[in-house]
Amino acid sequence: MKPRPTDPQSSALGISRRAFLQLSAALGAALLQQTARPSTAPRRGFAHAQCAPTAGSLSIASTFPLPFPHRYFPDAERLLDHCLDAFDLLLVPAYAAVNLIRRGALQILPGVPGRPHDPDGAYTFPYLTALSALIYRGTPPSSLDDLWARDALWPDSPRLVIGAALLRRGYPLNDSHPGHLAQVGEDLLRLRPRLVPDPLADLRSGRASLAMAVIPASGMDMNFLRRARPSTSPRSAQDATAEGLGVGIFIPPEGAALIEYDWVIPLGARNAEAALAFVANAQYGIRNIAKHPRGTQYAFDASAPKLIPLTPLPAAALAQRASIWKRLKETTT
């Protein structure tokens, strides 16, 4: 995580200018006109967050795998249905943060202003931007069709799974068309994908040669694959291979999901001050995940593939997707 800019006018560029601009276009003016129910909690400043606690002293829930103790929710929707005040700190996608802001479920904090889903920076603090990619061993994939043709591993996430099925058919990632959703729902039911909480871990264990997973987008940060001990030698802007292990990253030509992850503090958090201090002091795990290993070459060009931000969905689309996901889970468990 980059340090928070001190210049208010440049603070909107906190982590990824391109990601924020893309997300802004996707959400549109209608989203920005939504007024959040104000929090009753006092606004806390980073000036009061002087002594950062360790992650182990906090109850943290995250929808992105973290290098310190936390409860992992691969399905952001499942986390939103959880009793949030059981946690001191949450790491959620921007589209989920919008949901929580609308519900008045978050404490006010000194975030980064100028971002479309939290214009005043009142509820969220950016962590990183990630994307969905195909991770493989051996033969490189050529498109999303490989997820159907090969015995692949899929993340246990309805937004990513249904999104990939939509992109494969040429539909928008955030499509809410009932007919399109019904069509890809049948595609997935026929496929019965192998849903796992951590596709990367299962790929490393040899359970498959192809997986769809969420990885940091910055420079195609191979540090996230450090547990597989790769050093990168990119062959193209869309394909990076780890020398000696044959582990590669591929961005499908149909497109990939772009996901901004934000720290938020739930309204009922018991250790809100400690959670704020943890975020403000950028613990070692946050610093490490943002660094590139020495000698790593960038293998990611955001202008080459289609990167589409995940955005909030209408209630009807959410209900239809939930129904698809329920049926799919019943056939794959």
Domains (range + CATH), the chain = 12-129+259-289 (3.40.190), 132-257+303-332 (3.40.190.10)
Q: Euclidean distance between the first and final Cα of the chain, in Å?
A: 37
| φ and ψ of 228, to 5 deg | -95, 5
Which pLDDT tens digit goes with each residue over 29-47? 222 232 233 334 344 444 3
Neighbours of 32 (CB within 10 A): 12
Angle, in degrees to the nearest 10, between helices 315-332 and 178-191? 10
Classify residue 17 as exposed, middle or buried by CB count within 10 Å of its CB (0-12, 13-18, 19+): exposed
Torsion (CA) 177, 181, 184, 185 in degrees, nearest 10? -170
| Strands 239-242 and 247-250, bridge-based pairing | antiparallel
The more confidently predicted of residues 250 and 20 is 250
Q: How far is the C-alpha of 199 from the C-alpha of 88, rounded, in Å?
A: 27
Taking 80 as the threshold, does the pLDDT of residue 94 lie above it? yes
Q: What is the model's pLDDT at position 6?
A: 38
Q: Cβ(140)–Cβ(248) under 8 Å?
A: yes
Sign of CA dihedral 235, 239, 242, 244: negative
Which pLDDT tens digit goes with each residue over 67-80? 888 999 999 988 98
The more confidently predicted of residues 112 and 116 is 116
Helix (H, G, I), strand (E, B) or coil at 43: coil
Q: What is the model's pLDDT at position 251?
A: 92
8-state DSSP, 101: H
Q: What is the model's pLDDT at position 200?
A: 87
Taking 90 as the threshold, does the pLDDT of residue 156 lie above it? yes
Average pLDDT over residues 91-115: 92
Across the chain, mean pLDDT equals 75
Q: What's the one-letter identity of residue 107? A: Q
Task: Report percent pLDDT > 90 for the chain.
Answer: 47
Which pLDDT tens digit goes with each residue over 176-194? 999 999 999 999 999 999 9
| φ and ψ of 203, to 5 deg | -65, -40
pLDDT bucket at 167, cuts 50 / 70 / 90: very high
Residue the block writes with tokens 């931007």: 129
- Residue 295 contacts by C-beta under 8 Å, 6 or more apart in sequence? 231
Taking 90 as the threshold, does the pLDDT of residue 174 lie above it? yes
Taking 90 as the threshold, does the pLDDT of residue 142 lie above it? yes
Taking 90 as the threshold, does the pLDDT of residue 259 lie above it? yes
Q: What is the model's pLDDT at position 228?
A: 36
Q: How far is the C-alpha of 54 from the C-alpha of 40, rounded, in Å?
A: 27
Q: What is the model's pLDDT at position 124?
A: 93
pLDDT bucket at 141, cuts 50 / 70 / 90: very high
Taking 90 as the threshold, does the pLDDT of residue 11 lie above it? no
Q: What is the model's pLDDT at position 55?
A: 56
pTM of the model: 0.73
Taking 60 as the threshold, does the pLDDT of residue 255 lie above it? yes
Q: What is the model's pLDDT at position 188?
A: 97
Q: How far is the C-alpha of 83 from the C-alpha of 86, rounded, in Å?
A: 6
Residue the block writes with tokens 């990183």: 128
Q: Cβ(42)–Cβ(122) under 8 Å?
A: no
Q: How far is the C-alpha of 71 from the C-alpha of 57, rounded, in Å?
A: 13
Q: How far is the C-alpha of 263 from the C-alpha of 91, rounded, in Å?
A: 5
Taking 60 as the threshold, does the pLDDT of residue 26 lie above it? no
The more confidently predicted of residues 330 and 228 is 330
| Strands 194-196 and 125-137, bridge-based pairing | unpaired
Q: How far is the C-alpha of 87 from the C-alpha of 84, rounded, in Å?
A: 6
Q: What is the model's pLDDT at position 54?
A: 53
Q: What is the model's pLDDT at position 103?
A: 92
Q: How far is the C-alpha of 90 from the C-alpha of 305, rounded, in Å?
A: 30
Angle formed at CA 310 by CA 253 and CA 73, multiple of 5 degrees? 110
The more confidently predicted of residues 273 and 245 is 273
Average pLDDT over residues 12-32: 33
